[in-house]
Structure 1
Amino acid sequence: MTQEPGITHDQEWRPAPDERQAEPVKHIGFLSFGHWTPHASSSTRSAADTLLQSIELAVAAEELGADGAYFRVHHFARQLASPFPLLAAVGARTSRIEIGTGVIDMRYENPAYMTEDAGAADLIAGGRLQLGISRGSPEQVIDGWRHFGHEPRDGESDADMARRRTARFLELLEGEGFAEPNPRPMFPNPPGLLRLEPWSQGLRDRIWWGAGSRATAEWTARQGMNLMSSTLLTEDTGVPFHQLQAEQIQMFRDAWREAGHTREPRVSVSRSIFPITDDRDRAYFGMERFSTDQVGNLEGGQARFGKTYAGEIDEIVEDLAADTAVAAADTLLLTVPNQLGVDYNAHVIENVVRHVAPALGWR
């Protein structure tokens, strides 16, 4: 994130009394699905390509002034699946940007082991982990979580199982001791009940839930998690996507306030944004100028998908200025086509961070 000369990150700029209040600075990061395909046209032809290029893109994004590097998690797919080694590597190679997920499917997770992994990654990154979790999206195989040894309890759905595991994960992140120590341990113990280690203080406040509906957003607020909303919602009321998402965000904030939480929550939205500034952009995304919202079916229910923003920089600025959900969020995640390679994706990020964002008053 850029700053004016002479102003440090610890200082807060305030306008003069006669100036109009400036819009808050918006955090801008990228979100990669981490695809790889053994095809000549792909820059990521193997899992190793995707993992190593993910690290390099995070380093490049930090150098360009972006604020975050986020990664999608999908099992049984040629995509990123086990996030914590990647997050730790990104944390070790960068010094400022947030690192995170969008999202980890909690149907697959062991909350205790996940607590240890997340704590380690967060400590390596110096407290920069922003961990997005959720019930997950449709997967590559039928009930894939069963292959991980997980079964819902009697009368419990897979979504219920995900929320139960989430509750335990959040509880463990509090860092309270709960396990009776061995009276004859191999190594000396601190006094009292033991917690999982390594524990990272403050990580509990940096957990986000990927909510696909307004009702789930309200549930997220009651649990004290930040809200992560993507380019699709699993409901449709007939209004444009950004309006429906803005309504979701407002309901989240209202529920947060009603729950009595003391800290200020964060909200992220994802968008596909491709400024057309050269022939590469035109070849890849020129036709996306005509993109519109789409309505379809997802897991038996109606869903609304947000459009892609593509066009000249002034066109994108005008379109984004009218996006009420982007305006309501403090964090914007750019979905990147990772198979086009590090250089091209860095080019896209640079155009948004250094040209689109300042024109919208975000920088």
Structure 2
Amino acid sequence: MPSAANRRLFAVLSIALAATVWRAAGACQAAEPTPLIFDTDFGNDCDDVLALAMVHTLADRGECDLLAVTVTKDHPYSAPFVDVVNTFYGRGDTPIGVCRSGVTPDEGKYNGLCQATDDGQFRYPHDLTSGADAPDAVAVLRESLAAAADRSVVICQVGFSTNLAALLASAADEHSPLAGRELIAQKVRLLSVMAGAFESIPGPDGQPRIHREYNVERDLASAQTLAEQWPTPTVWSGFEIGIALPYPHESIEQDFGYFPHHPVAEAYRLYSPPPHNRPTWDLTTVLYAVRPDEGYFRLSPPGRVTIDDNAVTHFQAEGHRDRYLIIGPAARERALVAMVELTSARPATDRP
């Protein structure tokens, strides 16, 4: 049974949604949509699915344009479940690229939904049935960037750094005569990345400890390459941000019933059944990437992020490329209201 605090929070969220809907549907239409690439380890946590749902809602409202989704989880069902979600939200033709790195090769708790059937038909229609049939992520990234306006693209990396490190090392090809680093510098405006930790995290005993964040630890070499070589402004959402904003399980239970089956709610339940408030690590990265001026987060002073051989992130207040997100108590409610409303919104087009 939800605690009294959770019930109060969900009541506040419910009351605030109407104002959020009005602002998002009206005022945000005036700005040009942000060209967005979403890079994800789909299947390792349910917050990736929540974050991609947010991207689609933001695209429905004209706030972003989803150019491509690239995957850093190396299992054949990861890309097909991305295609499930894209198709569910009416963007089944969005390019999807995959890595073949061997990093986290297990299926995951919910990617098998891409194979779920009812009455002999896919429960969730989609075209891509195996990651083996998807193009290489670097090729998709290079093609998407080459076609974009200079310094326009925002990349959200919410999984491992595998694909972006490979993009940095890529050579000229049929899509662009530029090598990877030069192509990034010409086309990318911002990298919004969920990785690392910039505050000490309480351990099981309640005492603060240094945190080796999962996205960094599982492909350390690529994370170090990203931190050392990425050429554009980068904003990091540390582990501490997501745990400060747990997604209310009441939303999963109440807000997704507009269709008999919903891949976002079903993936959440398979990953960790309610009552469970999952941290919103990946959602914060999307929220900042598309709405950087809404005041949900403060930014650290500019500096430089480095990653040591023990997978620990460090921030040095020298240099100008990197900042990390900070959230205070007063902003948490607003940020959580926005994330819940964007995640649970009905797709703009009817489900196929």
Please indicate, yes or no, whether the TM-score normalized by the shorter chain is above 0.5.
Answer: no
- Report the TM-score when normalising by structure 2: 0.34
Larger radius of gyration: 1
